[in-house]
Amino acid sequence: MAMGKKKLMIISAAVVVLLLAGGIGFWLLSGDDAAEPQQAAEVAQQDAVKAPVMSAYYVVLPQPFTFNVTGDSRDRVVQIKVQLMVRGDKNEALAKQHTPLIESTLLQAFGVATVEQLRNPNGRDQLRQQALEAVKATMVKVAGTPAVERVLFTGFVMQ
């Protein structure tokens, strides 16, 4: 019987050692994973503190843009109503101050459009992006900042 108890104690000790080793390994591995999301959350929180999100303002351009575009069979007339999305009071004031220059820049950007481009949504999105880049470049030249975050088409008619 002494031999049976000895074997039972050795097996029990081996099981306890394996369980402890597994528990320690799990603790070490899960400890690192828990720290990474916490660190990522802290970095995101610090970024939020450093750069507060400013309110979005929408600057309505007073007149819709009406222009001709060339097509395969005939020219078409297009009318686009535009609003500008800006962030913060300063950028809103800059956009309002330079409205005539922005309108001129948008009219030049719209002047290169074709009927085929404006018929499909991807073409209109491409035109909107080109207009945004042109407005940003113009605003950087005159005000030192892009000021405008988005060009929005709030009305679109093609005849």
The tens digit of pLDDT for each residue in 128-151 reads 999 999 999 999 999 999 999 999
Residue 82 and residue 154 in contact, taking contact as beta carbons nearer than 8 Å = yes
Q: Torsions phi, psi of 51, nearest 5?
A: -125, 85
Predicted local confidence at residue 27, as pLDDT: 67
The CA–CA distances, whole Å, from 122 to 108, 116, 147 equal 20, 11, 25
CB-CB neighbours of 95 under 10 Å: 22
Tell which CATH architecture fits domain 56-158.
Answer: 2-Layer Sandwich (3.30)
Cα of 124 vs its chain's centroid, Å = 19
Task: Encode pLDDT of 33-42 as tens digits.
Answer: 444 555 655 6
Q: Is 151 helix (H, G, I), strand (E, B) or coil?
A: strand
- Domain regions of the chain by residue span: 1-52, 56-158
Cβ-Cβ contacts under 8 Å for 39 (sequence gap 6 or more): none
Predicted local confidence at residue 147, as pLDDT: 94
Across all residues in the chain, what is the average pLDDT? 84
The CA–CA distances, whole Å, from 24 to 27, 28, 33, 38 equal 5, 6, 15, 21
pTM value is 0.65
Residues 4-12 have a mean pLDDT of: 78
Q: How would residue 154 be classed by pLDDT, with cut points 50, 70 and 90?
A: very high
Residues 54-61 have a mean pLDDT of: 92
Instruction: Kindly state the greatest CA–CA separation across the chain.
Output: 106
- Over pLDDT 70: what percentage of the chain? 80
Higher model confidence: residue 92 or residue 50?
Answer: 92
Task: Encode pLDDT of 72-111 as tens digits.
Answer: 788 899 999 999 999 999 999 999 999 999 999 999 999 8
CB-CB neighbours of 30 under 10 Å: 10
Predicted local confidence at residue 34, as pLDDT: 46
Amino acid at 157: V
Cβ-count burial 42-75 (b if 16+ within 10 Å, e if not): eeeeeeeeeeeeeeebebebeeebeeebeeeeee
